[in-house]
Every structure is written in C-alpha cells, then in structure tokens.
Amino acid sequence: MKKWLSVIILAMLVFSLAACGQKNDKASEEKKETKKTTEVFKIGAIPDQNAADLEKGMTAVAKYLSEKTGMKVEFVPSVDYAALVTGFQRGEIHMAWFGGLTSVQARNLVPDADSFAQRPRDAEFHSVFITQAGSGINTLKDLKGKSFTFGSESSTSGHLMPRYFLSEAGINPNTDFDGKPNFSGSHDTTYKLVESGAFKAGALNEAVWQVAVKEGKVDTNKVKVFYTTPAFFDYNWTMNSNVDDVFGKGAKKKVEDAILSITTDQKDITDFFQTDKFVETKNDNYQKIEKVAKELKIIK
C-alpha cells in the first residue's frame, strides 16, 4: 500500500511540474508577442532640406503607415546623413528614405537590407548646376578658378554625381576651383549660398531646385541653372533586415505594401515627395552609384 501511495505522489509531483513548465512557456510566449506588438516602428530620412518641411512630410508618412498596418510608427529625425546610416546599421531605424549613395552605404553595413520602392522620377534623376546671373559661367569647364559648393558629402545628387560629371568634363574639384569646394550640408542651403554671392556656383538636387523656384524661395534674377546632368538612379525607401524579427513575420511586407499603396489621396505625402505614387525598385538598380562612389574613393 505504501508503495502504491509513493507512486501516486510521485506521479502527481511530475504532473504538477509539467503543468508549471507549460504555464511558464505560455507566459514567456505571451511576453514575446507583447514585445512585438508594442515595439515602435521607426522611420528616418536624410536631412537634405528644410527641417520643418521634412518633419511635416515624414510625420505624415508615419501616420499613414500606422493607419494601414496597425503598428505604432514614428519619424526619428537625424542630425546628418551619417547619423541616419549609423542608426540604420544599429537597427534603431527600421526603414529610411535614403539617397542612392546613402542607401548603398547602409546596405553595405546591413547586407540583407532591401531598397524596395522609389518615386518614378528616381529612376531618371538629375542634379542641376547653378550660378549667379552674370557670372560668365555657362559650361562645366567655366568653373575652373571659381568658388564652388556641393551639398552634403554623402549626397548623391548634391555631391557624388556632380563630382562624377565634373570629372568627366576634366574638372578636378580638389585642385581646379578657387580654393577647396565647400559642403553646404543641404540642397536648400546650396542655392542660398550661391544666391547670396558666398560662392559663384554649386550643385544640387533638381527636385529641390524646382520646388524652390515654384514657391519663390530663390530669386531667379540672381541665380540660374547652367547645366543639368544626365539621368541616374537616386532616392529610395530601404527596409532594415531586422523588421520581421522585431515585429513578427509578415511585418516587412505589410509596410512595403502600405508604401506602394500611397496615391494622391494622401496629398500631404505626395505633395511633399513631389510624386503621385511610389513604384518598386531593387538593390541592383544602384550598382552604378556604388561603382562611381568606389571610383571616387567615397566608399571602399
């Protein structure tokens, strides 16, 4: 009798421990799911223009994504291009609006990241070279001996591609200008510097220039475009490789589908991005950007 009693007690103890283990596993799983659903999906953008305009446009994107995906989405401003790339590398930024060069830099640091969407115009983007009216500058060769400003050092349309086309025209920015070239930090600062006379010429994003002209932010009696570059791939949305791990399987596709579903019904977004929609792109489209950046020793 005592033997059977011992067996029953042992069986009850085993059952109790098993039940406790299942309860702990369930609690652990619930905790894991809670983490996924409460994590904030953080988006960023290169600070290539007026900070207030950028904040307004990207906050509109965050609000739209929240509504479409059910996730909590937040725009996180970056002090400069490098800070955004670093935040992306650390996994702190889950999706970013990059220029072609910064997307290449980010994907070199996060190899499984995916450049998945762009505006139609980004497949054939241009930079413009501007100068003061009456400067006598009409071609790239006329820039020899003149003061010049690029945008940010990490900008595709404000530095990388303008430098490339200068090189193609036989101009070495390090030796052929009046002093070393300046880096203004943003496209809107570039046209303001040329307009003020601080520099004789500069290069910037064609889209930013067009908006500045349309909205009367630049005096075209003082500043003119004298050269527009051939087309190249540029801006894009790039998704970090950690999204499904942090937010659960399918989160990446959910956000991508939301970006690609934007239309002119989301006027605050499409007006800011100067587009009527976003279209699919792929990492391979930016191979030329990477090649040029390596040739110019901007990236290794």
Residue 262 near residue 64 (C-beta atoms within 8 A): yes
Amino acid identity at 269? I
First to last CA, the chain: 80
Instruction: Please state the φ and ψ torsions of residue 170, each to the nearest 5 degrees.
Output: 85, 20
Considering the chain, what is the average pLDDT of its residues?
90
Predicted confidence (pLDDT) at residue 140 exceeds the cutoff of 90: yes
Residue 299 near residue 160 (C-beta atoms within 8 A): no
pLDDT in tens, 205-226: 999 999 999 999 999 999 999 9
Helix H, strand E, coil C: the string for 106-120 is HHHHCCCCEEEEECH
Predicted confidence (pLDDT) at residue 1 exceeds the cutoff of 50: no
pLDDT in tens, 260-283: 999 999 999 999 999 999 999 999
Kindly report whether the global pTM for this prediction surpasses the value 0.75: yes
Question: Which pLDDT does position 80 carry in this prediction?
Answer: 95
Predicted confidence (pLDDT) at residue 30 exceeds the cutoff of 70: no
pLDDT in tens, 147-187: 999 999 999 999 999 999 999 999 999 999 999 999 999 99
Which CATH number is 126-228's, of 3.40.190.10, 2.60.40.10, 3.20.20.70, 3.40.1410.10? Answer: 3.40.190.10
Which of these, 237, 235, 239, lies nearest to 94 by C-alpha position?
A: 239
Predicted confidence (pLDDT) at residue 17 exceeds the cutoff of 50: no
Predicted confidence (pLDDT) at residue 27 exceeds the cutoff of 60: no
As given in the structure block, the two tokens for residue 201 are 């010429």
Indicate the pLDDT class of residue 37, thresholds 50, 70 and 90. Answer: low
Domain with CATH 3.40.190.10 in the chain: 40-123+234-295, 126-228
Question: Which pLDDT does position 119 carry in this prediction?
Answer: 98
- What is the CATH topology of the domain spanning 40-123+234-295? D-Maltodextrin-Binding Protein; domain 2 (3.40.190)
pLDDT in tens, 76-126: 999 999 999 999 999 999 999 999 999 999 999 999 999 999 999 999 999
